[in-house]
Amino acid sequence: MRGLRLLGCGALAALAMAAAAPSRAAPATPAATIASLDAFDAQKKSVVLPNGLRLAYVEMGNPKGRPVVLIHGYTDNARDWWPLTPYLDKSFRLIIVDIRGHGGSGKPECCYTRVDFAYDIKLLLDALKIDKADIVGHSLGSIITQTFAELWPERTARVVLVSSTGGPRKAAKTGVSTAPAPPAFDFRSAIVKLRDPIDPDSPFMVAWWSSPTPVDEAFIQRQRQDAAKIPVKVWLAVLDQGLEGVDLQATLPKLKAPTLLIWGGKDQIIDMEGRETLREGLPAATVKVFEQLGHNPFWEDAPGVAAEINRFLGHP
| Tens-place pLDDT, residues 235-270 | 999 988 876 667 899 999 999 999 999 999 999 889
Q: How many helices (H) and strands (E) does the chain have?
A: 11, 8
**pTM higher than 0.75, yes or no?**
yes
| Tens-place pLDDT, residues 66-86 | 999 999 999 999 999 999 999
- Is residue 144 a contact partner of residue 124, using CB atoms and an 8 Å limit? no
pLDDT at 186: 63
The partner residues of 261 in beta bridges, in order of sequence, read: 161, 287
C-alpha closest to that of 67 among 256, 254, 313: 313
Residues for the chain: how many in total? 316
| Tens-place pLDDT, residues 158-213 | 999 999 999 988 765 444 434 445 545 567 788 999 999 999 999 999 988 888 88
Listing DSSP states for 221-275 in one string gives HHHHHHHHTS-HHHHHHHHHHHTTT--HHHHGGG--S-EEEEEETT-SSS-HHHH
